[in-house]
Amino acid sequence: MSETKKLATEATGPLKGVRIVDLTSVVFGAYATQILGDYGADVIKIEAPSPTGGGGHGGDIMRWPGHVPEGAAPDLGPIFLTINRNKRSVLLDLAKPAGRKALMKIISTADVLTSNVRYSAMKRLGLSYEDVKAVKPDIIFVHAAGYGSDGPYAGLPAYDDLIQAGSGAADLLPYMDGDPKPRYMPTIMADKVSGLFFVSAVTSALFHRERTGEGQFVEVPMLEAVTSFVLAEHFYDHVYDPPTGQWTYGRITNPDRRPYRTKNGYIGLLPYSDKQWEQFFEIAGRPGVFRDDPRFSNYKARTQNIRELYAMIEELTETKTTEEWLDLLNPLSIPVVKMNRLEDLQDDPHLKAVDFFQRYDHPHAGPYFALRPPVRFSATPANIRLHPPRLGEQTREVLAEVGLVDDDISAIEAAGAEH
């Protein structure tokens, strides 16, 4: 059994001392604010008591999917556990004046306000940037939107599926396998990619404020973020006007770009330089392929004939075991890795050595695994200080911190409990 970790006692990351009031939910915003929390920020997650979640439950909808262990709190589902550590949950009914007043009190102590609530709804609640700025003049207000506010899709609902469809991401697999049917990537790609843009936006705005004292409104639109991500390589020859050739970087949409079968499994393999390809073919017993075939003898030729090259690889990799390929290619610095199935990941020797899967004991969910913050800071290390919270677990604690008295707090808690 894995060693059970203890939570860190204080923030040590580069954002220590930064307070973020977090009105985001689901994956886009929650993924981003967990990263910011890992980096040391005090993230106060505002959740609604109204039944906006799955099955008529309140709070972040991601609390409810999945199968919790017997006896565990039902509001601590697996996805919620994975993207909501290092946050404190405050339950506020923003449809009521007392809830909005309490939120403004919290915002007055904050550096950043994040939201993925539609901006029109924020305005109706009296929580526009101008409203918030009146309470905290240097606030950084980061709005996670589906579509940029200056386009015709502004204000429309947006989810990962819709953004994968609208960004061209769902059109990539047809370029790979020739099946014209568009398909989604089997991961919540648009939310998570947009979340990384979101993290960058928050830290950049904080840097600007550090230099100038000026807060600002920041919009992070999913469609634009994900389209930028998709087209970084796949704009390809259409980057020119007029286009000089094809959509997509052919090496990436090659149907034979995949893990290659060995005698006992699969490997990821990517010789890149001329020297690496020459060494690979020599080890595979086909040295003449590189020396004598003009289709493969230099980078430009290989790019133009990449489909034929990749189709040839598996014929060669099947001649040895995964371990034999690793032993032969790693000393030559030829890029190669054992392919992991999902069930292999927790036994991967590298991930084990870097302590990537960290076991904790949640007081309300029991033992669970957290994924170690992947970015390493030598002077200001990220850490895990707080378990993912129960719905409203820190309401009283946070409201007391911002100066509300017991009677006010009890009234706010009672209003939330009415749902």
Tens of pLDDT along 260-317? 999 999 999 999 888 998 899 999 998 877 777 888 778 788 888 888 888 888 889 9
Local structure of residue 50 (DSSP, 8 states): S
Parts of the chain belonging to CATH 3.30.1540.10: 260-338
Give the tens place of pLDDT for each residue, 179-195.
999 999 999 999 999 99
Q: Residue 261 contacts by C-beta under 8 Å, 6 or more apart in sequence?
A: 314, 317, 318
CA distance 171 to 340: 26
Contact 89, 403 (CB under 8 A): no
Q: Quick check: helix, strand or coil at residue 112?
A: strand
CA distance 366 to 364: 6
CA distance 19 to 41: 6
CATH of domain 19-230+349-417: 3.40.50.10540
Higher pLDDT, 407 or 128: 128
Q: Residue 375 contacts by C-beta under 8 Å, 6 or more apart in sequence?
A: 39, 382
User: Which amino acid is residue 52, in one-letter code?
Assistant: T
Higher pLDDT, 148 or 410: 148
Q: pTM for the full model? A: 0.94
Q: What is the pLDDT of residue 53?
A: 46
CATH of domain 260-338: 3.30.1540.10
CA distance 123 to 126: 5
Q: Quick check: helix, strand or coil at residue 319?
A: coil
Parts of the chain belonging to CATH 3.40.50.10540: 19-230+349-417
Structural element, H or E, at residue 414: helix 406-417
Whether the predicted pLDDT of 334 surpasses 70:
yes
For 25-135, strand residue ranges (E) read 42-47, 87-91, 112-115
Tell me how far CA of residue 223 lies from CA of 160, 165, 200, 220, in angstroms: 10, 10, 17, 9
